[in-house]
């Protein structure tokens, strides 16, 4: 049961393809430690891993540190130790969520910078935050700064505190996500989400919650 939920504005930087408008800043990426690429190779039934292999070929010669996850929580740990460098997430919404929590868990002198190469099951974040779709676009995207501040929220519940971007879901929406995550990988994201939605609509019962704003 959710005991309380509260959100705060906490801005951080986003690597994106967005033109320089509405506060987006552009310029050559400063010299310093190489960007950290966190890859979840099994996200999206392996699509993320396959996509990054093509990206790595296209990015040959760029100074990058690449870490692959092998279990839940790895992405959070890698991001937490990233320091002040750019972090690039290759995976789905779950991988992005882990990285955001790793980056925002500790106080930082400057807002962290993060870029998304979305190849997950649901890929809801990709519809909100644009990024390269083709491997040959990734090297230029990494090399040139194109970033803007976006908001992150904090959700406090009976299970602890979590940061989130894009959306935080409770009720039937969260039930759909939980059931979809348990579906077979071979069925694909669309089938799993549709099946989860149908089942949830049939069996869901409203729960009593208290929300503090």
Residue 22 banded pLDDT, cuts 50, 70, 90: very low
**Does residue 118 sit in helix, strand or coil?**
strand
Whether 130 shows a pLDDT value over 70: the answer reads: yes
Mean pLDDT, the chain, as a whole number?
A: 80
How is residue 30 annotated by DSSP? P
- Per-residue pLDDT at 157: 78
CATH superfamily of domain region 11-164: Probable inorganic polyphosphate/atp-NAD kinase; domain 1 (3.40.50.10330)
Of the candidates 150, 175, 177, 190, the residue with the CA atom closest to the CA atom of residue 94:
177
Q: Which residues pair with 152 in a beta bridge?
A: 10
Q: What is the pLDDT of residue 31?
A: 60
Residue 14 parent element (H or E): strand 10-15
The residue that leads in pLDDT, 105 or 31, is 105
**Structure tokens belonging to residue 81:** 């130790």
Residue 20 has what pLDDT? Answer: 41
Phi, psi of 19 (to 5 degrees): -60, 160
Report domain extents, the chain: 11-164, 172-203
d(CA 102, CA 124): 20
- The residue that leads in pLDDT, 177 or 50, is 50
Q: Are 171 and 206 in contact (CB under 8 A)?
A: yes
pLDDT band, residue 80 (cuts 50/70/90): very high
Contact 188, 44 (CB under 8 A): no
């Amino acid at each position: 049961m959710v005991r309380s939920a509260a959100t705060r504005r906490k801005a951080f930087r986003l690597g994106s393809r967005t033109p320089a408008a509405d506060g987006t800043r552009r310029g050559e990426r400063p010299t310093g430690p190489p960007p950290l690429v966190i890859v979840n190779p099994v996200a999206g039934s392996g699509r993320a891993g396959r996509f990054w292999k093509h990206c790595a070929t296209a990015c040959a010669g760029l100074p990058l540190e690449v870490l692959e996850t092998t279990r839940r929580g790895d992405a959070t740990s890698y991001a937490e130790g990233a320091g002040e460098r750019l972090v690039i997430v290759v995976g789905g919404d779950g991988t992005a969520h882990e990285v955001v929590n790793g980056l925002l868990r500790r106080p930082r002198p400057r807002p962290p910078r993060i870029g998304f190469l979305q190849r997950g099951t649901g890929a809801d974040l990709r519809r909100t935050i644009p990024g390269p779709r083709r491997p040959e676009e990734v090297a230029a995207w990494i090399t040139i700064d194109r970033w803007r501040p976006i908001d992150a929220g904090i959700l406090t519940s009976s299970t602890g505190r979590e940061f989130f971007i894009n959306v935080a879901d409770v009720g039937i929406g969260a039930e759909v996500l939980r059931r979809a995550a348990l579906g077979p990988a071979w069925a694909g994201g669309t089938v799993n989400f549709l099946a989860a939605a149908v089942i949830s609509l049939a069996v869901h019962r409203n729960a009593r919650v208290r929300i503090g704003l």
